[in-house]
Amino acid sequence: MTFDELKLERKRGNKNMGQINVYKHLGGVKNGQKYLGSVSMTGVHFEDDHVATGFGNHLARPILREEWRDDLTFEEGVKLLEKCMRNLLYRDRSAVNKVQIANITEEGLTISQPYSLKTFWNYAAFQNPTAGAVGSW
C-alpha cells in the first residue's frame, strides 16, 4: 500500500473521513487492452473512455461525452482536452491556465512539459457580466 492508501484506510477504519475527498485515476495498456478507470475514497470505481472529478465532472464530462470518439488521434485528443480545460478555466477565473498532457501507450508513459492555454478575457460578457440581468443585488 502507498502512504496515501494507508492514511485513507486508517481514517476509514476509524470512521473519521473528515474533509478528505480523493479520487485516483488509473490508466494503462496491457496486451493491447486499454484501461481507464477511477476509484473514489470509499471504493466506488468505474471504467470509462474518459474520467473527470470535481468541477470537471460537471463541466468537462458533457463535452467529452459529446465530442469523444474511439478513433481520435493524439493531436485531436489534446485539442479536446484543451477545450475542456479552457471551459473549466473560464468558469473559475482564479484557476491557473497551465496544463500538462500525459500519453499512455504500450511503449510507456510520456508527460508533456507544462504549458499555458491560450485564453481571451475581453469578451463583452466578461467585461460586464450583469448587463442583461434583471434586478440587482
Give domain limits for the chain. 1-48, 50-119
The whole-number pLDDT of residue 40 equals: 79
Q: What is the pLDDT of residue 12?
A: 65
What pLDDT score was predicted for residue 59? Answer: 94
Residue 75 confidence (pLDDT): 96
How many whole angstroms separate alpha carbon 59 and alpha carbon 56? Answer: 5
Which residues does 84 contact at the CB level (< 8 Å), separation at least 6? 52, 56, 59, 60, 63, 64
Q: Shortest CA distance to 55 belongs to which of 100, 85, 18, 99?
A: 85
Burial of 84 (0-12, 13-18, 19+ CB in 10 A): buried
95 and 88 Cβ atoms separated by less than 8 Å = yes
CA distance 51 to 56: 9
Mean pLDDT in runs of 10 for the chain (137 residues)?
63 61 78 84 83 88 95 96 94 88 88 93 80 72
What number of other Cβ atoms are within 10 A of residue 88's Cβ?
19
Query: In this predicted structure, what is the pLDDT of residue 14?
Result: 64
Beta-bridge partner residues of 29: 34
- Fold designation for 50-119: Glutamine Phosphoribosylpyrophosphate, subunit 1, domain 1 (3.60.20)
